[in-house]
Structure 1
Amino acid sequence: MNTIPARLDHLVLATPDLLATVADFTRRTGVAPAPGGVHVELGTRNFLVALGGSAYLEIIGPDPEQPAPEGPRPFSVDALSVPRTVTWAISPPDLDAAVATARTRGYDPGDIHPMSRRTPDGTLLEWRLTDGDTQHPSGLVPFLIDWGTARHPSASGLPSTPLLALSATAPDPGEIRRLLAALDTELPVTEGPVGLSFTVDTPQGQVTFG
């Protein structure tokens, strides 16, 4: 069974200490993630690694060079005590249509919001994604993203660790599978505590992150 979901855009590895997690990823894989950019006014920044095709890994954490944001940082990084793969994203051909279709199937992935970040060379990247209280709280059901005319992060010459597998555990795997079907994607889900893990191919062999 292919364990790489259709339309995978990126995985999100969130951490309370960004530089420490980047250093750990480098040590374990032999591949140093590239600086992605700063999420202005959100208090976070990221590092990126290509996963093959048009997919990539986002390692995101607090940006000590920014003032504390007015609201919580993205992906609840302030609540984390250790790094964790918190969620993933898919990129449907038509974001608005995908949201409308999912709602008719009984799952509301949330409203569509504009987002942006400033890359290290000063370029402003802008995109749209789903975000809201209606998204499944486990993070196992992906959010949806549309890069529009922006250059996709995977097309910027990132260092690479090809993705070999992505899987999840959940107390009710059937519930997660139904919601994934509403988004026209799938993910191997087995019974257990909520968790998301991925395995990459690296110069130092296969490495799994949870």
Structure 2
Amino acid sequence: MAFPSTLDHLVYAVPDLGEAVTDFARRTGVTPARGGAHPVGSANALVALTVDGRPAPHYLEIVGPDPEREDPGPVRVFGLADLDRPHLATFAVRVGQDLESAVERARAVGHDPGDVDPWSRTTPDGTVLRWLLAKREPDSYPAPVPFLIDWGGTPQPGLGDLPALELLALRAEHPEPASLAPALGALGVDLDLREGPRPLLEADLRGPRGVFVLR
């Protein structure tokens, strides 16, 4: 498998959600579905990510400042407050145990994923979806070390009724890849990570207009 077996979703962070959705549809031939708004001031649009043409528990989240948020100030998640162009910012993984145990294992090797907190999103039809996250804002993005998610009783969005693209691969670069190995190992993440001049995430996707790289 050319991406982590525990992958939950990719996060494509954008400064303007409406513009990003239009551009993404033009490039890929697939129009992302409106996802909803988060209490932290962000909103998203979603695309399911299939594997070998079959449904899978993976999806792409295009996330940006919610244009309808009550507080028009900076949105301080996924680096949105300082973002001037879209990029593949990070990704989320599921863990094979409860989130608290996974956090403890990561902290034992010197990586702090953040505390486990409840998150939610209100969909366009008013439904409130709830899940648990262990997510700490890194010093900078892109962030090759993922954050952690537990959907609990909420259906995983990638298996829902969404427009879809095929996920072919996910890879990362970092100036010191060995420094990330303990954290990735503690989280059970089998990421294709190579040395490069700066942190980078890239995903190969296939849709109606062929294969393209999202970075």
TM normalised by structure 2 equals 0.90
The counterpart of 1:194, out of the listed 175, 199, 209, is 199
Correspondence for 2:41: 43
- Kindly provide the amino acid, as one letter, of the partner of residue 116 in structure 1: S
Equivalent residues in 2 for 1:1-210, closer than 5 Å: 2-40=1-39, 42-52=40-50, 53-68=56-71, 72-93=75-96, 94-132=98-136, 137-138=140-141, 139-192=143-196, 193-210=198-215
Select between 49-58 and 177-186 the one with higher mean Cα deviation: 177-186
Instruction: Give CA-to-partner distance per residue, 1:96-115, whole Å, 9 cap, x none.
Output: 22222222333222111111
Q: Which shows bigger deviation, 63-72 or 23-32?
A: 63-72
Q: Which moved more, 1:177-186 or 1:118-127?
A: 177-186
Distance 1:132 1:75 in 2: 10
Give distance in 2, aligned partners of 1:8 and 1:136.
22
Give, in whole Å, the separation in 1 of the partners of 2:212 and 2:14.
18
Q: 1:191, 1:104 → 2: CA distance?
A: 25
CA distance in 2, matches of 1:195, 1:170: 7
User: Does the Cα contact within 8 Å between 1:38 and 1:119 map onto a contact in 2?
Assistant: yes
**How many pairs are equivalent?**
207
Distance 1:10 1:79 in 2: 22
> Which position in structure 1 is the counterpart of 2:53?
none
SS in 1 for 2:164: coil
**Structure 1 stretch displaced more, 16-25 or 135-144:** 135-144
Aligned-partner Cα distance in 1 for 2:156–2:127: 13
Per the alignment, in what secondary structure is the counterpart of residue 23 of structure 2? helix
Q: Is the 8 A contact 2:112 2:136 kept in 1?
A: no
Instruction: Specify every segment of 5 or more residues in structure 2 that has no aligned partner in the other structure, as ranges.
Output: 51-55
Q: Which runs of 5+ in 1 are unaligned?
A: none
The CA distance in 1 between the partners of 2:165 and 2:182, in whole Å, is 30
Are the equivalent residues in 2 in contact too, given 1:106–1:182 (CA < 8 A)?
Answer: no
Counterpart code for 2:91? W
